[in-house]
Amino acid sequence: MRVLGLETSCDETGIALYDSERGLLAHRVYSQIALHAEYGGVVPELASRDHVRKALPLIHEVLNEAGLSVNELDGIAYTSGPGLVGALLVGACLGRSLAWALDIPAVGVHHMEGHLLAPMLEDDVPEFPFIALLVSGGHTQLVRVDGIGRYELLGESLDDAAGEAFDKAAKMMGLPYPGGPALSKLADSGDSTRFKFPRPMTDRPGLDFSFSGLKTQVRTTILACAVDGVLSDTDKADIAACFQAAVVDTLVIKCKRALQQTGVKRLIIAGGVGANKRLREQLRTATEAMGGAVYYPRPELCTDNGAMIAYAGTRRLLAGQQEDLAVAVVPRWPMTSLPAVDEQAGA
């Protein structure tokens, strides 16, 4: 089955073609970062309009790269939530109407299920059950996964998501938007032991997170180091390194706890912060020391993309799930409410 995937939930237009026999055929991501940079954050109306401009040209590009015509598609998957309502509507209207015109099934995909299943696009595919660490711009969750649509939320952030904390800390340090990747790069040259940053909520039982206190820590450290309001390059790099180490250590401690608590051996990481090099390395060391294994998508499939939506949609279409003719999006949508997919279907 050949499925076109459309991701338009926020500020990336992601388009991909997935073939259930041959794997990922082509994928393209257009990022709107430059468009939103001058506002320091995503402007919803501008995002919707840019998806309108970019989606069709990107569909042509992926079809060309795969050497397929639109008539050779067997299904269409689009992100139907959670996300910005206008941005979601662009992908949903386009996907639903294209499927109608081609007389093929369409399915709406949960964006976080897309992230969660992204490791399945790699050669080394994790078997169920596994624990998923979802770390993105809007979510920080630990989920027990017993199959597609069989999700149990074990813990989540009570305030800022990990990616959001990275972006806010970066902004305070004057790094360009969106700051997560820039902060992480700066941290490479810093001393992660210079300042004592807390590992929030690791001193008590449970699997929830809280990252907003680390922002305050960054602010007070900046104030303590700045001379006439200016931070030296060394100070900046050291603050970045200490902040990153605090977030990564906290995530690693909670992942180990989740594996111990459930007795599950396999861990997957997904979502934008999953691209973080230090997090990937430390989770590998930690899971291997426990006799387990960690799986993650290549960095470009950690952040938003159409491939993960095409993959999740394929699994659900193969299981017989599809939308009626209405165009529906769900801006707020708990992943645990998704229907389970029969283990045998779509394997």
Please identify, using beta-carbon distances, which residue of 66 and 251 lies nearer to ligand ATP.
251
The site partner of 273 among ligand ATP, Mg ion, Fe ion, none (C-beta below 5 to 8 Å per kind) is ligand ATP
Per CB under 6 A, 273 contacts ligand ATP: yes
Residue 201 has phi, psi (to 5 degrees) of 65, 20
What gap in Å lies between CA 275 and CA 93, rounded to an integer?
31
Smallest gap from residue 270 Cβ to ligand ATP (A)? 8
- Secondary structure (H, E, C), 86-103: HHHHHHHHHHHHHHHHHC
321 binds, among Fe ion, Mg ion, ligand ATP, none (CB under 5 to 8 A by kind): none
- C-alpha span between 11 and 221 (Å, rounded): 31
**Count of residues engaged in binding ligand ATP, rule: CB under 6 A:** 22
Give the dihedral sign, CA 168/206/297/138. negative
By CB under 6 A, tell whether 180 contacts ligand ATP.
yes
CA 208 – CA 206 distance, rounded (Å): 6
Residue 136 assigned to a binding site: yes
7 sits near Fe ion (criterion: CB under 5 A): no
d(CA 221, CA 218): 5
Contacting residue, 105, 108, 272, 306, with ligand ATP by CB under 6 A: 272
163 binds, among Mg ion, Fe ion, ligand ATP, none (CB under 5 to 8 A by kind): ligand ATP
Which candidate, 255, 271, 137, places its Cα nearest to that of 199?
A: 255
**Partner from ligand ATP, Mg ion, Fe ion, none contacting 250, C-beta within 5 to 8 A by type:** none
Take residue 206 and report the two structure tokens written for it.
């449970």
**Contact window for ligand ATP (CB under 6 A) among 66-74, 99-107, 119-127, 271-279:** 271-279
Q: Is 164 in the site for Mg ion (CB under 5 A)?
A: no
- Tell me the sheet residues that pair with 109: 79
Question: Given CA atoms 133, 200, 276, 169 in this order, what sign does their dihedral have?
Answer: positive
Residues that bind ligand ATP (CB under 6 A): 10, 111, 115, 136-139, 163-164, 166-167, 178, 180-181, 184, 271-273, 275-276, 303-304
Which residues of this protein are in contact with Fe ion, per CB under 5 A? 136, 304
